[in-house]
Amino acid sequence: MAKKSFFERLTGAVKLDDNDEDTQHFETKKIGTKSSAKNAATLSNKNAIGEDSWADEEKDAELTVDVFQTADTIVIKTMIAGVHPEDLDISIARDIVTIAGHREEDRAAHDEDYFIRELYWGSFSRTITLPEEIEVEEAEAIESHGLLIIKLPKIDKHRQTKLKVKAL
């Protein structure tokens, strides 16, 4: 067996060579069984010709977020640079927050004129399950220089009130 390249050692990739028994053994071992390997090959062929391809579905991009808590607040931070406030929709329930929006591309160049194209344009969304219930009415959202900060006050479960009984 030939010495593996740096890339092969780093990623665990192998050269696919029909005459290399070690490679065939690795593929079967990696996938599990020969029938699994056959199913994976069939799935790969279906995707190559456009059948059952999940990539064909247009989905919203998933927004990246930071979520942390203080003693009395849950804070969500996310970058929304280039999104107009009217193109942003924030839905809040007691234990779930959904942030959705759309970033419009300002076409300054033709596709063939790009050297690198990494920015995301289009719809995005993110649903976050909160670790605690929050006071929905007291939530606030602030945008500053493309950073969206959502502050969600926690429900004070230790708060007590006195209830007076009324006579009828």
Mean per-residue pLDDT, 157-162:
74
pLDDT at site 16: 58
- pTM (2 decimals)? 0.58
35 lies in the same domain as 92: no
Note whether residue 141 is domain-resident. yes
Q: CA-CA distances (angstroms) from residue 123 to 59, 65, 73, 146, 156? A: 8, 16, 28, 16, 35
Annotate 127-151 with b (16+ C-beta within 10 A) or e (fewer): ebebeeebeeeebebeeeeeebebb
* Number of independent structural domains in the chain: 2
Query: In terms of domains, do 66 and 149 share one?
Result: yes
Percent of the chain with pLDDT over 70: 65
82 in any annotated domain: yes
> Is beta strand 61-62 parallel, antiparallel or unpaired with respect to 122-129?
parallel
* 87 shares a domain with 144: yes
Q: Supply the range of the domain harboring residue 116.
A: 61-153
Same domain, 75 and 136: yes
More confident residue, 57 or 116: 116
| pLDDT of residue 164 exceeding 60 | yes
pLDDT for the residue 128: 95
Asked whether the beta carbons of 14 and 2 are under 8 A apart, the reply is: no
- State the Cα–Cα distance between residues 44 and 47, nearest whole angstrom: 5
Q: Which of 44-53, 118-127, 128-137 has the lowest mean pLDDT?
A: 44-53
Q: Give residue-wise pLDDT tens across range 49-80.
A: 444 444 445 577 888 999 999 999 999 999 99
Q: Which two tokens stand for residue 64?
A: 């990246």
What is the CATH classification number for the domain harbouring 149? 2.60.40.790
Quick check: is 165 in a domain? Answer: no
Residue 23 domain flag: yes
- From residue 20, how far is each of 2, 41, 99, 124, 126 by CA, in Å? 10, 18, 51, 45, 46
